Amino acid sequence: MSRTAIVLLLGGGGHGVVVGDAARAAGYIVAGCLDDEHGIAGRAEEAGLKWLGGLDDLAEVVTKLSDELLIHAAFGDGVLRRQWLENARAECPGASLAPIIHPSSIVSPSAMIEDGAFIGPLAIVNARARIGRGTIVNSGAIIEHDCLIGPFAHIAPGAILLGAATVGDDAMIGSGAKVLPGVEIGADCTLGAGAVATVNLPPGTTATGVPARAVLTTES
């Protein structure tokens, strides 16, 4: 997709304005955002992100924009990110859902970044890593070689995944957390801020501390 493409963001909160900045830095034209929280309009526009209506206005707004349109679900909650991305795919089949990658990030040519993903400022994605659909690799996060991150996960600012670590679908790796080489973090897991995962975490586990210990398991 051409860098002159127009970007429409779904979500205009804190993450939305960060993605808007990244898209502009990457050379895209940012049309604005759709968000059902009307009170967000002023805060978004303070950051240069125009509020264009609610999420139900998607099809109508798209008809007014360029044929070369990129739609991005820019919201921290993975459940909503998944829902909004799938709605965009169904309602606007001609639009691109390509990832948005901040130009200050470092992404290996052999890494794979899937549709709807976001790679934030100063993030690093090294060789043969795979970043799943709709996943966030936030500011300053490091994804080492051969890591595999499933769809709609969130790697928070400053988190580090060492070589061949795996993060499952919809998992959350907290700010400053570390996952040691080859360790598997299951789907729907939460690894707390600053925690260090030294062993595999089963799906649905919340773990904190150094080394990380399970404090809650939601799946049997």
| Adjacent-strand bridge partners of 131 | 113, 149
Instruction: Compute the distance between CA of residue 192 and CA of residue 26 in angstroms, rounded to an integer.
Output: 31
Angstrom distances, CA of residue 4 to CA of 23, 35, 119, 156, 191 = 11, 24, 19, 29, 38
98-137: b (≥16 Cβ within 10 Å) or e: bbbbbeebebeeebebbebbbbbbbbbbbebbbbbbbbbb
Catalytic residue among 38, 72, 145, 154: 145
**Do the Cβ atoms of 7 and 48 come closer than 8 Å?**
no
Catalytic site residue 102? no
**Do the Cβ atoms of 166 and 180 come closer than 8 Å?**
no
**Do the Cβ atoms of 130 and 148 come closer than 8 Å?**
yes
Q: Which tokens go with 187?
A: 């789907």
Q: Which residues are catalytic?
A: 145
